[in-house]
């Protein structure tokens, strides 16, 4: 398979030697473009998409990132290349100084059997094995969940295993390797408003048949964005968004949790965690982010993002919320649980978007969250704070930090600060390729930690106005 190097060629010594090389320490490392040139060239699988506007094969979106717990200099990002055409990974073995692009063999353009793929997710097991999950199939109406595995830090990948009985209309999978037992990996995804689960108990050799663990029993409601987190005592916590649309009332949007104490064999009843109050579009439930100049939508419904502190078991959640502005614009809301998801704190605003600017420029959206080894919490998001009367819509990506302690808890807005600008300069959101939902740059973005550092992967147009994946590493 052809490989593509980023920045400059790196002569391979032994894998162990490269992984052990210490990373260069600096406050904010240079911004690196990952997804261009396209690792699959001009190849087109021929997957037919709805008439939602063109999305050239060079366009990339929805990146995720994972860090090897054995060798923290081994960082892997992955993203969707083209409109559901391919999943491409970028691998670094030296902490982010150099990267190699490697298509994961899922579709016909990357050595696999399928026409389409999308919604990637990555997770490292405690022995260094890396798993990638994605939607795979030959049509939008019939698609399943496939898992690939890499035993060398993302340099080579197995053919995808299709999870048994997952082929219906699978969407938005996430994957969690058990941090203490490499035999167990947990996959969960959406299927027409319900949460479907599978697991491996033998390190990915086989996967259990898919089964529903969160059934949608409420009329006019659905469940989505499920993610499994593992507490230090081994308990699994599934956190997901529950939306209900009664005919005569406002929609209800909650985060709910379910727990398992036996590696996912059985699950508790659902428990409401947090009431979310996003901005809603005519009762449909879509979070609104709007171009202040044109009124065009510039964001799809946001995915909430979740993280766990693997030392003390604290659970964290972020999402877009309108309560802090009396529903004039979205902010980034944060809530936490210190008891394994049983009770949750009152949501607070954590984005540092200035409040002394025009309201429409205060919109903060598409948040992601991660927790560093020392307990520092990081939250990334986009906003329009530098918008001005000139043509275009200047947009930036940011990281805000919290260093929680007993004296300075994460539940206090005053303890969030140290904001870092992740974009080198503002990009123009108005040049992003349009879809049926507006200027779409993705539903989610990657944020992970390497020791006490944060690694952010996100989408923005590059100098050719092509949606591109960038990465930046930050030492708090």
Residue ranges of domains in the chain: 1-8+55-215, 277-476
What is the number of helices (H) and of strands (E) in the chain? Answer: 1, 32
62 in Cβ contact with 82 (< 8 Å): no
How far, in Å, CA of 377 to CA of 397, rounded?
17
Six-digit token string for 35: 């997804």
103 in Cβ contact with 19 (< 8 Å): no
Backbone phi, psi, residue 301, to 5°: -55, 130
DSSP structural state of residue 180: S
pLDDT one digit per residue (tens) for the chain, 476 residues? 444 444 433 333 333 333 333 333 348 999 999 999 999 998 988 877 654 555 677 889 999 999 999 999 999 999 999 878 899 999 999 999 999 999 999 999 999 999 999 999 999 999 999 999 999 998 777 789 999 999 999 999 999 999 998 877 778 999 999 999 999 999 999 887 789 999 999 999 999 999 999 877 666 678 889 999 999 999 999 999 988 765 556 678 899 999 999 999 999 999 999 999 888 655 445 567 899 999 888 876 668 999 999 999 999 999 999 999 999 999 999 999 999 999 999 999 999 999 999 999 999 999 999 999 999 999 999 999 999 999 999 999 999 999 999 999 999 999 998 899 999 999 999 998 777 667 888 888 999 999 999 999 999 999 999 999 999 999 98
Q: Helix (H, G, I), strand (E, B), or coil: what is residue 264?
A: coil
How far, in Å, CA of 316 to CA of 230, rounded?
12
- Concatenating the DSSP letter of every residue in 34-74 gives -S-S-TTTT--------SS----TT-EEEEEEEE-SS-TT-
Cα 39 to Cα 11, 58, 395, 471, distances in angstroms: 19, 9, 27, 17
Six-digit token string for 135: 């939607």
Q: Where do the H-state alpha helices sit in 7-163?
A: 15-20
CATH 2.120.10.10 fits 1-8+55-215, yes or no: yes
Q: Helix (H, G, I), strand (E, B), or coil: what is residue 411?
A: coil
How far, in Å, CA of 384 to CA of 356, rounded?
13
Residues 6+ apart with CB under 8 A from 16: none
- Residues facing 168 on adjacent strands: 143
Give residue 36's Cα distance to chain centre: 20
469 in Cβ contact with 65 (< 8 Å): no
129 backbone φψ class: left, alpha, beta (φ>0; ψ -120 to 50): beta
- Residues facing 4 on adjacent strands: 101
How far, in Å, CA of 210 to CA of 198, rounded?
5
Place of tokens 């819509």: 393
How far, in Å, CA of 252 to CA of 337, rounded?
21
- Concatenating the DSSP letter of every residue in 220-257 gives TEEEEEEEEEE-TTS-EEEEEEEEE--TTS--EEEEEE
How far, in Å, CA of 262 to CA of 60, rounded?
38
Cα 301 to Cα 64, 71, 122, 361, distances in angstroms: 18, 35, 22, 19
Place of tokens 């409040």: 355
How far, in Å, CA of 9 to CA of 83, rounded?
29
Cα–Cα nearest to 153, from 135, 177, 121, 131: 131
How far, in Å, CA of 210 to CA of 131, rounded?
18
Cα 193 to Cα 174, 208, 289, 435, distances in angstroms: 15, 21, 24, 23
């Amino acid at each position: 398979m052809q490989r593509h190097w980023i920045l400059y060629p790196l002569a391979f010594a032994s894998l162990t030697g490269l992984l052990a090389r210490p990373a260069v320490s600096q406050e904010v490392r240079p911004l690196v473009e990952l997804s261009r040139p396209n690792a699959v060239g001009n190849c087109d699988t021929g997957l037919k998409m709805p008439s939602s506007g063109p999305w050239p094969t060079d366009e990339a979106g929805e990146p995720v990132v994972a860090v090897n717990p054995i060798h923290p200099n081994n960082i892997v990002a992955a993203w969707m290349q083209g409109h559901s055409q391919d999943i491409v990974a970028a691998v670094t073995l030296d902490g982010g100084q150099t990267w190699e692009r490697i298509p994961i063999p899922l579709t016909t353009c990357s050595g696999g059997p399928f026409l389409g793929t999308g919604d990637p997710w990555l997770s490292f097991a405690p022995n260094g094995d890396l798993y990638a999950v994605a939607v795979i199939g030959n049509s939008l109406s019939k698609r399943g969940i496939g898992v690939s595995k890499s035993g060398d830090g993302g340099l080579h990948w197995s053919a995808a295993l299709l999870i048994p009985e997952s082929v219906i209309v699978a969407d938005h999978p996430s994957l969690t390797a058990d941090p203490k037992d490499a035999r167990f990996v947990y996959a969960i995804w959406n299927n027409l408003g319900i949460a479907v689960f599978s697991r491996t108990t033998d390190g990915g050799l086989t996967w259990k048949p898919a089964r529903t663990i969160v059934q949608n029993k409420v009329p006019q409601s659905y469940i989505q964005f499920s993610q499994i987190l593992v507490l230090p005592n081994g308990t699994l916590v599934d956190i997901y968004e529950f939306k209900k649309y009664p005919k005569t009332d406002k929609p209800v949007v909650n985060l709910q949790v379910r727990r398992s104490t036996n590696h996912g064999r059985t699950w508790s009843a659902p428990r409401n965690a947090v009431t979310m109050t996003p901005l809603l579009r005519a009762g449909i439930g879509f979070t609104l982010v709007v171009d202040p100049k044109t009124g065009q939508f510039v964001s799809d419904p946001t995915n909430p993002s979740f993280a766990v502190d693997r030392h003390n078991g604290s659970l964290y959640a972020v999402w877009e919320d309108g309560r802090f502005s009396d529903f004039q614009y979205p902010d980034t809301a944060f809530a936490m649980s210190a008891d394994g998801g049983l009770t949750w704190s009152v949501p607070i605003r954590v984005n540092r978007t200035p409040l002394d600017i025009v309201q429409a420029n205060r919109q903060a959206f598409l948040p992601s969250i991660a927790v560093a080894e020392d307990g520092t919490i990081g939250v990334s998001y986009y906003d329009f704070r530098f918008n001005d009367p000139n043509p275009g819509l200047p947009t930036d990506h940011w990281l805000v930090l919290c260093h929680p302690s007993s004296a300075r808890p994460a539940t206090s807005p005053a303890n969030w600060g140290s904001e870092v600008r992740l974009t080198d300069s503002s990009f123009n959101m108005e040049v992003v390729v349009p879809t049926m939902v507006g200027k779409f740059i993705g539903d989610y973005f990657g944020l992970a930690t390497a020791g006490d550092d944060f690694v952010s992967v996100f989408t923005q147009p590059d100098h050719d106005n092509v949606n591109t994946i960038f990465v930046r590493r930050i030492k708090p």
